[in-house]
Chains A and B, each alone.
Chain A
């Protein structure tokens, strides 16, 4: 009986020793391997404004932070320039330009619309925004919106993407910020 237990203990130790000794040293490869799972990031927001009274009148504004969470800042940060007293049909395009090919992340935001909400906060001469698209639960998303401009002048428009998994209630407060850009606006 005793002998059996002793044998058992030895066998168990031999097995663990073998098992534990078999892990490979990955670091023996000196050069970093191509990044396998570069996490999903947003690098770029493109706003497209179509004049509702004249569909050939199209304006764009872009913000690009090409290394995303890296330490470099933005390399493109446009001012939104729109004519006054018009309604602009606005579409937001989000890109991950680190991925190759470039990933259109806004498609995924649309797919998971129930967890996302765009918030627009104007100051000064800017625009008033109405979201025009809805998610599966009938709540607004904001990838599509209508911007109404009025008086001439300068102001700002903060465009925020709130990630609200399981807590989306139609308001901006729940969740965390995925994107926050404070565009300068010129109504001219």
Chain B
């Protein structure tokens, strides 16, 4: 029915346009119609100049053009199904580019999404987005926590403040994080090193599961986490948003805001500034306070863009600064202390609530500077060049300061790493030629690491180079994709090696690695309600410096680790199959079984004899390689009983096997099941998008572990209940969003197998978060 009206209006408008042709002026108004919320182009929107009774309709890329008009000021009216019509005064002077951002009614938004989806490029690899609703619910939490709503994605935690994403049981160096199009380069090897990214810079988080090395470079053997910022404004005006989040547990507060704009006088130039401040005090488990778990974070970023029809450039800079306390009772002297800590029902240290952060703590800074340029190369394609510099500074402070007063006064970290990375990517994407689209590219990277203090990993310099080619073929119901990549990596290590008493020798070994990765995939859509995707990929990862050269006590882990400098690259072969089935408008089912076979999988194997040091005996671990098989399945179900009640179910199951040792692999997530019921309220006056949801998460006990490989047995299964509620209030054309979430509603005590603090303490207790989002618009007056 709606479509019928549309065609009528198209006809009507075009007739009008013909009638107005008598005008002698030859100027034009053109631009794009873009959805204000998700910045997707809107098709079939009508643009109408009231004074001239003249208009046009946007095409499938949201483009419109009204020709043959005189210079002057006009009232332009934009309408689209599901959008409130928008009216604004526009000055036409010569060929004038003007984009419009109509806003969708929330209730109709769902229907529109279906049409909009077709415009989104689908890859044959399984890509899942964190929904906007889930992203809002996780506001104020770390990046790792924000990703957990995706099935098959977990997090490896060190208490409440350090959270690393896990995809299909793999983490750290086996996952690539793409921040604004740049590979995140921090000290990723450490399990207590969280990604240095402010989630507030992202308006979209997504995860590609499976080997993805072809496009993004080696290491992505388990998957890629993509953090994307919203595109810059491309029409005149200034707008912004303020986010405030408060949490009861830890009395935490987060404030984040951005301001972005584009000026009438300089249409090509757009800008955005963004910043976040966060502070958390000591958090509590249901029965006690966890000493020294506070956190402080201050981040800012800016983006400058210059966009013309044929070329464009963008500069992005972000800085992430955090100081986070490490739970006091988790820092232990030796294995005897560790055993005492395990046996104690209450952590050995407790104390009152405070915002103060004492020893031990980490202080981390991460900077990213990115410059990107693109140029349209005729009708054939687009060439883009990206340069990025990242600087990562990590300071770790031990539990006790030096005994020596003059050393203590300096307050230097016991462990410091400085990692600087320069990278460049050149990519040429070609437009469709006979059902083919594709891209070809080259990337280079150089990286240097220096340390001060305790020698845990040595200094090194790293050179990487890679070249790739991806082609995609699409016709009707079929889509095929194939890609190939070659990478070369040279690692030069500088290390003082212990020879004998008081004698150290500088050794400078060089490691080189080279390998080919590739993938082939297919999508088949036999009907509009069924979508089958299959992807086969192979990828590799060079051993990290810590795996090659660790030699000594790992304080956080109370273990002596020995690297092996003869380790070879890991190679994975994986297959992922995804079936998305929507038998009716109300039901969506997604099933995604996968298999990863990893050749030369690097892991830590415990030794039978402990090492005796002056601190006492410590268990020793050796980095070893094995062949591993990780297989599992992710399930997703959404059922809308009525327009207001819907049920969502998720499950992720994983089995990880060490083929060489013929045993389970250690530190793998256990099975998780989650179900959520949501009630969506009807819009009432100025209230819209209101919902209330309740969810339950069930995590099974991980009993699939090798015997005697861990200090204590894995913790029991647990349930947690969570509640979320949110609504938007329309004030002056802006939707002010209010939300409340209760995590661990019943204040249950539990320990998670993947939390490294499970040895010492229960997980965090009930946490109620309140959040408010206030968008605003400043209209620049046209003169």
Contacts and interface: CB of A to CB of B under 8 A. Distances in A.
Interface of A: 2, 6, 9, 12-13, 16-17, 20-21, 23, 25-33, 35-40, 42-45, 63-75, 77, 97-98, 100, 103, 105, 108-109, 111-112, 163, 165, 176-181
Given A176-B333, A177-B337, A26 B612 contact: no
A74 B461 CA distance: 32
B419 A176 contact: no
A83 B352 CA distance: 52
B184 to A, nearest CB: 17
A63 to B, nearest CB: 6
Given A9-B273, A179-B615, A28 B448 contact: yes
Contacts of B458: 32
Given A9-B273, A20-B367, A27-B419, A74 B494 contact: no
Given A32-B496, A37-B412, 16 more contacts: A2-B781, A13-B273, A20-B317, A27-B447, A29-B450, A35-B496, A39-B454, A42-B615, A65-B614, A67-B498, A69-B553, A71-B551, A77-B612, A98-B502, A111-B403, A177-B336
A44 B615 CA distance: 11
Contacts, number: 171
A180 B618 CA distance: 11
Interface in B100-153: none
B407 interface: yes
B90 to A, nearest CB: 19
Given A2-B780, A25-B420, A66-B501, A177 B403 contact: no
Contact of A97 (B304, B449, B502): B502
A30 B613 contact: no
Q: Which of A16, A32, A98, A179 has the most CB of B within 10 A?
A: A32
Q: Which of A73, A75, A180 has the most CB of B within 10 A?
A: A180
A97 B501 contact: yes
A35 B614 contact: no
A46 B611 CA distance: 20
A63 B398 contact: no
A177 B332 CA distance: 7
Given A29-B450, A163-B400, A181 B552 contact: no
A66 B263 CA distance: 66
B319 interface: yes
B331 A176 contact: yes
Contacts of B450: 26-27, 29, 32-33
A27 B367 contact: no
Contacts of A45: 614
Report the 6 A-B pairs with minimum CB-CB distance, sorted nearest first: A27-B448, A177-B333, A180-B616, A108-B403, A176-B333, A69-B553
A69 B616 contact: no
A39 B332 contact: no
Nearest to A13: B302
B506 interface: yes
A153 B643 CA distance: 85
Contact of B613 (A21, A31, A37, A69): A69
A177 B616 contact: yes
A179 B614 contact: yes
Given A31-B494, A39-B398, A70 B552 contact: yes
By secondary structure, the B interface counts as strand
Contact of A70 (B404, B405, B551): B551
A21 B369 contact: yes
Contact of A67 (B333, B552, B781): B552
Q: Which of A25, A27, A77, A112 has the most CB of B within 10 A?
A: A27
Contacts of A74: 612-614
Contacts of B560: 71
A180 B333 contact: yes
B334 interface: yes
Nearest to B448: A27
Interface in B318-343: 319, 331-334, 336-337
B402 interface: yes
Interface string B419-438: 11000000000000000000
Nearest to B349: A167
A178 B400 CA distance: 10
Q: Which of A25, A65, A103, A165 has the most CB of B within 10 A?
A: A25
A74 B331 CA distance: 23
Nearest to B265: A6
B501 A27 contact: no
Given A23-B391, A25-B420, A28-B448, A109 B332 contact: no
Nearest to A63: B614
Contacts of A26: 418, 420, 450
A45 B613 CA distance: 11
B657 interface: no
Contacts of A75: 500-501
B498 A16 contact: no
A40 B461 contact: no
Interface string B441-464: 000000111111111001101000
Interface in B610-625: 611-617
Contacts of B568: none
A36 B455 CA distance: 11
A53 to B, nearest CB: 32
Contact of B452 (A25, A37, A105, A180): A37
B562 interface: yes
A43 B369 CA distance: 43
Contacts of B551: 70-71
A108 B406 CA distance: 11
A73 B611 contact: yes
B65 interface: no
Contacts of B495: 32
A32 B461 CA distance: 11
